[in-house]
Amino acid sequence: MGRPKPLLPWRGTTLVEYQMNSMLRGGCKKVVVVTGRYDAEMAPLLADRPEIIRAYNPKYAEGKTTSVKTGIWELPDDISSIVLLAVDQPRPAWVIERILNAHNDYGAEITSPRFNDHGGHPLVFDSSLRIELASITEQTKGIREIFKKPNINHKHVNFESAIVRLDINTPEAYKEAVASYADLAEQR
């Protein structure tokens, strides 16, 4: 991107602040923000917010699984569900709320959104899978290994919007997302 993704301007704030606020408005009681290379730059945005837990991942350069594992260990003990969402996958609060409600109503071990027969994000895991999440590795393809477990109770929630597939990985994708987000994020 040429600059830190979490600090990119997004809808009147930064990408990381937008994600935190959407998750809280969508029903998450606590949000663990895993930082890495840009920890010092992000720290002021995460301070003085009791519902935000800042977790520094010293192994961030080793892959995404290290960030998931860092976040898992910082979760409060009394949680019932774990929502995983990368900072470059901005979601409006209604998406978070809908996927969490479906997860809770269905009682699934894993709940994930779908659009046009393709998976999306956020992913919601029952807290009983906490140890499995804390054990993922890059070598075993991260959380995909959990999805392959036999007899996993997995609920798919169909969405009418490609918002659940949005992933900002390039400067071009960022520009396109800025231009199209209002329409994509409209509740349907």
Burial of residue 9, with CB atoms counted within 10 A of its CB: 0-12 exposed, 13-18 middle, 19 or more buried: exposed
pLDDT for res 150: 85
pLDDT for res 141: 83
Q: Which domain holds residue 131?
A: 5-184
pLDDT for res 127: 96
Cα separation, 159 vs 1, in Å, equals: 29
pLDDT for res 149: 86
Could you give the number of structural domains in the chain?
1
Strands (E), 140-182: 154-158
H/E element, 98 = helix 93-106
Full-model pTM: 0.94
For residue 143, give the nearest of 115, 174, 122, 170 by alpha carbon. Answer: 122
- Strand-strand pairing, 154-158 and 110-115: parallel
pLDDT by 10s per residue, the chain, length 188: 778 999 999 999 999 999 999 999 999 999 999 999 999 999 999 999 999 999 999 999 999 999 999 999 999 999 999 999 999 999 999 999 999 999 999 999 999 999 999 999 999 999 999 999 999 999 888 898 898 888 899 999 999 999 999 999 999 999 999 999 998 888 87
CA gyration radius for the chain?
Answer: 16
pLDDT for res 167: 95
CATH number for the domain harbouring residue 147: 3.90.550.10
